[in-house]
Homo-oligomer: A and B are copies of this chain.
Amino acid sequence: MTNTVISSKSKDVIIGFDQPFAVIGERINPTGRKLLAEEMKNGDYSRVEADALAQVAAGAHILDVNAGIPLADEPAILAESIRLVQAVTDVPLCIDSSIIAALEAGLEAYEGKALLNSVTGEEERLEAVLPLVKKYGCAVIAISNDDNGISEDINVRFNVAKKIVERAQDHGIPVSDIVVDPLVMPIGAINSAGTQVMELVQRLRKELKVNTTCGASNLSFGLPNRNGLNTAFIAMAIASGMTSAITNPLHAEIMQSIRGANVVMGHDPECSDWIANYRAPAAEGEGRRRRRSRRRG
């Protein structure tokens, strides 16, 4: 049983084997969102704040914050985004950048124990990111690709994860502060992409005893009805032991699937979270029936 604790100034979120699945909201990310990118670049963070509030309202436990805008001052924009998101919500944050200086600026601006996104098995990245993780005492997402790229062989991906965990230990970082992303491939191209993830998650959990995460929506790349497929996949990943995902909590189907999976896993005692979220629609039906019988009466 491994618990990864991520904190804001006032709140802890536990990613863990016996915990409800942790939803890391992915929306604060200018990649592919031209308007958001333009606004962030011009110092307008109103949409960042609105996205933060909407995702928390929809059930996100942690928010990913990314400021990857070409030709912009990413470290400054990421730090400012993190300051502002912290001001409007109390959920812990995931600091997301491919640029080391931006990760460090984000960590400087953050109050609490962040989740850093991410380290890979690439030598240069390992030696740049792990000292930051140690210095700031944060947790880190470990993506299982290395200097040879992304392998289609799950044994290779497992071994990359193992290497990162071992290297982290060399830096004094406990295994409970590593959350492995086994990498989700598009199943339209690789028919075994789904079973690969399920097998890897089971092995990572059993053999390395690490928590896991993924970008769940990669699976459905190029296919119709992506949400429908992602919905089935995320429940199946949870059944295999996945403990968190970077996803869009504004998709009601995805959140329903995650909440349903929590019930099935026994991680929603008394089904109280399920009932709190879905009582309303049922009550509507009930209400309609009641109203009808009143009319009859």
Contact = CB atoms under 8 A, between A and B. Distances in A.
Given A239-B198, A265-B194, A231 B219 contact: no
A13 interface: no
Contacts of A238: 236
Interface in A211-266: 219, 223-225, 228-229, 231-233, 235-236, 238-240, 256-257, 259-261, 263-266
A42 interface: no
Contacts of A269: 191
A261 B236 CA distance: 8
A152 to B, nearest CB: 14
A35 to B, nearest CB: 18
Nearest to A256: B228
B233 A266 contact: no
For this complex, into which size category does the number of interface residues on chain A fall? 35 or more
Given A225-B281, A225-B282, A266-B191, A232 B219 contact: no
A187 interface: yes
A72 interface: no
A276 to B, nearest CB: 10
14 contacts: A195-B264, A195-B265, A223-B274, A224-B275, A224-B278, A224-B281, A225-B278, A231-B235, A232-B260, A235-B236, A235-B257, A236-B239, A236-B264, A239-B239
Interface of A: 187-188, 191-192, 194-195, 198, 219, 223-225, 228-229, 231-233, 235-236, 238-240, 256-257, 259-261, 263-266, 269-271, 274-275, 278-279, 281-283
- A-B complex: 4 closest residue pairs judged by Cβ atoms: A232-B260, A194-B264, A224-B282, A225-B278
